Amino acid sequence: LAAQGEPGRTEMGREAFTERVWSWKQQYGSAITSQMRRLGASCDWSRERFTLDEGLSDAVYEAFLRLHNDDLIYRDSYMVNWSVSLQTAVSDLEVEYAEENGSMYTFRYPVDDDTTKHVEVATTRPETIFGDTAVAVNPNDERYSHLVGKEAVIPLNGRRIPIIADEYVDMEFGTGVVKITPGHDINDYEVGRRNKLPIVNIYNNDATLNANCGNDKFVGMERFDARKAVWKELETLDLAIERKDHVSRIPRSQRGGDVIEPIVSEQWFVRAAPLAEPALAAVTETKETEIIPERYNKIYEGWLTEIKDWCISRQLWWGHRIPVYYV
């Protein structure tokens, strides 16, 4: 729709948008299977089904109910991958990573309102400073042990945050001091949970800054524009130290192509670990399943031992709806 200059789904409304998608499906839905038939794929085409066929919808509801009754499906607030262009959460499998050129920004974080005291932190996303709820150092780093328990001050809104000690911090990387943004970074989220830090979400769903950033100058600003504006402000305050070229591993939406924004959001999840256990045991213990070639065993084991709960809810108007209703 965007490519054709037509209104988006919110402008069209759910009913009109759904009709448009069904129309597209009728016109193009069989293109892939038609190509497969022409190539001679020997499938039993009499058993072909479409995702939204009535029988499949019943199966989705039944599976959801069983998993929910077994406490394998739950609703909770957790960090998810937010696709800004699609306006929905997406699963880890729908995120593609690639190394891209960017910048590393190093700046001074004031300590205890004393202009003569500061710590230096480096980040690739200075705009997330508004969501910081701590500054962290390694508990074994003697350079900063005297600062643990004191407070740092976010220079662009004056909010005070604690300086904490956590094993997550690598003493050898950068300055050995990191900003902790539990609302917008998965590693920081885990640090925040361990240290009972508050979560500050600084973004609207369209990745513009919201009022939580605490500075009216930046409210409503798009995230990448905010990155430039924040750095310029830090330069003005004489807190900027260095900006240098840096290659980062950037997550992008497989479907939308936009940079994924990690946010904490209330969604529906499947507990993956209990479901992975029998699949893992079938290969590593009972040997009911054999992987050929054998060298892929380690990859398989890595997938299932490091598996995270699966976000299954989407903020879309096309597809199976979560069969939960509130009265």
For residue 121, give the amino acid letter: V
User: Are residues 100 and 251 in contact, defined by beta-carbon separation less than 8 angstroms?
Assistant: no
pLDDT at 298 (0 to 100): 94
Tell me what pLDDT residue 28 has: 86
Here the tokens at position 32 are 């892939």
- Per DSSP, the residues of 193-252 read HHHT------B-TTSBB-GGGS-TTTTT-BHHHHHHHHHHHHHHTT-EEEEEEEEEEEEE
Going by C-alpha positions, the residue among 128, 228, 144, 218 that lies closest to residue 182 is: 128
Confidence (pLDDT) at 254: 94
Distance CA 308, CA 189 (A): 14
**pLDDT attached to residue 311:** 92
Predicted pLDDT at 266 = 93
Residue 68 main-chain phi, psi, to 5 deg: -65, -40
Residue type, 251: P
Please give the pLDDT value at position 320: 87
* Element housing 27 (H / E): helix 14-28
Rounded Cα distance between 274 and 219, Å, is 43
Cα 324 from chain centroid (whole Å): 24
Residue 10 phi/psi, 5-degree rounding, is -65, -35
The DSSP output letter for 122 is E
Instruction: Say what the pLDDT of residue 114 is.
Output: 65
Count Cβ atoms below 10 Å from residue 102 Cβ, excluding itself: 14
Task: Return the structure tokens found at 89.
Answer: 């959460």
| pLDDT given for residue 24 in this prediction | 87
Query: At what angle are helices 297-305 and 272-284 packed, to 10 degrees?
Result: 160
Low-confidence ranges of the chain (pLDDT < 50): none
The residue written with tokens 């069904």 in the block is 22
Contact 172, 125 (CB under 8 A): no
Phi-psi region of 158 (alpha: psi -120 to 50; beta: other; left: phi over 0): left
Q: What single letter denotes the amino acid at residue 18?
A: T
In this structure, the number of other CB atoms found within 10 A of the CB of residue 178 comes to 26
What is the edge-to-edge ordering of all strands in the sheet holding 310-311?
A: 88-90, 73-83, 261-270, 310-311
The pLDDT of residue 321? 86
What was the pLDDT predicted at 151?
95
Pick the closest to residue 232 from 220, 248, 217, 245 (CA basis). 217
Of 115, 78, 121, 98, nearest in space to 272 by CA:
78
pLDDT digits (tens, 9 = 90+) for 172-219: 888 899 999 999 999 999 999 999 999 999 999 999 999 999 999 999
Q: What pLDDT was estimated at residue 269?
A: 95
> C-alpha 45: how far from its chain's center?
38
